[in-house]
């Protein structure tokens, strides 16, 4: 069975867009792949300077993925920071990469262009990510569009390693980019924390409703026919409701006599059906940090077992043993 792996950066509470665009598809992969999903806390540390927030977001992310259905028996679920072999491999890989390749990194270039003085962690970010991936012989890496360049670098350095130290020492990973599932936010742009247009995932029902009522729509009169496609309410509904329900809403909107307010309420109902039961699980899981720590530590233990075998192979190949 092939291996799929991805990292989740704990910089915020996951929102509906994360759930539909990343969490759900990643969990679906666990049926056909050996899966490793981890919390990339040392990636978050490149920019997050608030220890309380960092700690809190690790638990938020862990409880969210578990509530969404991650089965820790099947999927290795761990904190990146607990698998210290990652940092050793990152060093090895950094010695095989030209600084020019890292200088061309999007995130680093953007930080420079916006007048910031990025730290060396931002510069080395893709190296750490390559280590996350190559340490576990991952074949497939589900990521967002913005991570494609990082995957290219992971592939390059794996090929380079194999070329220098022996073919088939490292598995060359493939990206799986979910570009078709662009979940719009409340302003119609891609849902993203940076745009402040997110819909919360496990907020109390009242708060969810308030967020949905804020979604920008046209101001056509109730009777007017309306074009559903491209409207944020309809596009979100398409991501959560059944095909028949979606069809029915599209027809009502096009016919006229059905307003965006109606559509928002239908969206709210569909979200409640889907997320209501998960919300309670989330709250239960989130309420017991010790249990989450134990579960992640168990995952890390199993992950390290695998990681140590890879490092043995790597050290032996490069002449450190």
For binding to ligand TRP (CB under 6 A), which residues are involved?
5-7, 9, 40, 43, 129, 132-133, 141, 143, 147
By beta-carbon proximity to ligand TRP, the closer residue of 9 and 264 is 9
Q: How far is the CB of 66 from ligand TRP (least distance, A)?
A: 19
By beta-carbon proximity to ligand TRP, the closer residue of 176 and 203 is 176
Task: Identify the CA nearest to 170 among candidates 153, 179, 181, 157.
Answer: 157
Q: Phi then psi for 142, rounded to 5 degrees?
A: -70, 125
By beta-carbon proximity to ligand TRP, the closer residue of 195 and 251 is 195
By beta-carbon proximity to ligand TRP, the closer residue of 7 and 118 is 7
Say if residues 16 and 201 touch (Cβ distance below 8 Å). yes
Say if residues 292 and 67 touch (Cβ distance below 8 Å). no
- Beta-bridge mates of residue 6: 37
Q: How far is the CB of 132 from ligand TRP (least distance, A)?
A: 4
By beta-carbon proximity to ligand TRP, the closer residue of 143 and 253 is 143
By beta-carbon proximity to ligand TRP, the closer residue of 62 and 133 is 133
Q: How far is the CB of 96 from ligand TRP (least distance, A)?
A: 18
Q: How far is the CB of 41 from ligand TRP (least distance, A)?
A: 10
Q: How far is the CB of 11 from ligand TRP (least distance, A)?
A: 8
Counting every residue, how long is the chain? Answer: 321
* DSSP one-letter string for 185-223: -TTSSBP-GGGT---BSSS-HHHHHHHHHT-------TT
Say if residues 90 and 48 touch (Cβ distance below 8 Å). no
- Beta-bridge mates of residue 8: 39
Q: How far is the CB of 227 from ligand TRP (least distance, A)?
A: 33
Q: How far is the CB of 278 from ligand TRP (least distance, A)?
A: 22
Q: CA Rg, the chain, in Å?
A: 22
By beta-carbon proximity to ligand TRP, the closer residue of 151 and 292 is 151
Q: How far is the CB of 38 from ligand TRP (least distance, A)?
A: 8
CA-based angle 262:265:267, to the nearest 5? 110
CA distance to 144, 164, 204, 212, per residue, from 22 (Å): 8, 35, 22, 21
**Strand extents, DSSP E, 26-126:** 34-39, 76-79
Task: Identify the CA nearest to 234 among candidates 202, 203, 212, 256.
Answer: 212
DSSP state of 140: E
Task: Identify the CA nearest to 190 among candidates 39, 28, 20.
Answer: 20
By beta-carbon proximity to ligand TRP, the closer residue of 133 and 157 is 133
Residue nearest to ligand TRP (CB): 7
């Amino acid at each position: 069975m092939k291996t799929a792996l991805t990292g989740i950066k704990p910089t915020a509470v996951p929102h509906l867009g994360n759930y539909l665009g990343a969490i759900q598809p990643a969990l679906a992969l666990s049926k056909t792949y050996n899966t490793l999903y981890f919390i990339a806390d040392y990636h978050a540390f490149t920019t997050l300077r608030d220890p309380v927030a960092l700690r809190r977001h690790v638990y938020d992310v862990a409880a969210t993925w578990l509530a969404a259905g991650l089965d820790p028996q099947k999927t290795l679920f761990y904190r990146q920071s607990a698998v210290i072999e990652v940092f050793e491999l990152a060093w090895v890989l950094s010695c095989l990469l030209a600084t020019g390749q890292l200088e061309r990194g999007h995130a680093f270039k953007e930080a420079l262009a916006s007048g910031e003085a990025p730290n060396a962690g931002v510069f080395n970010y893709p190296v750490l990510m390559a280590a996350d991936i190559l340490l576990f012989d991952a074949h497939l890496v589900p990521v967002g569009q913005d991570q494609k360049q990082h995957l290219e670098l992971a592939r390059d350095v794996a090929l380079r390693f194999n070329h220098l130290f022996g073919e088939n020492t490292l598995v060359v990973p493939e990206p799986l980019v979910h570009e078709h599932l662009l979940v719009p936010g409340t302003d119609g742009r891609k849902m993203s924390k940076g745009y402040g247009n997110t819909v919360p995932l496990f907020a109390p029902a009242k708060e969810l409703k308030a967020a949905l009522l804020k979604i920008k729509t046209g101001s056509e009169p109730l009777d007017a026919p309306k074009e559903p496609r491209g409207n944020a309410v309809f596009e979100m509904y398409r991501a959560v409701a059944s095909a028949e329900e979606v069809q029915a809403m599209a027809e009502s909107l096009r016919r006229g006599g059905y307003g965006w307010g109606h559509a928002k309420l239908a969206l709210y109902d569909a979200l409640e059906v889907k997320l209501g039961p998960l919300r309670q699980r989330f709250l239960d899981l989130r309420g017991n940090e010790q249990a989450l720590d134990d579960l992640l530590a168990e995952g890390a233990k199993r992950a390290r077992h695998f990681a140590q075998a890879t490092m043995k192979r790597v050290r032996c190949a490069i002449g450190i043993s």
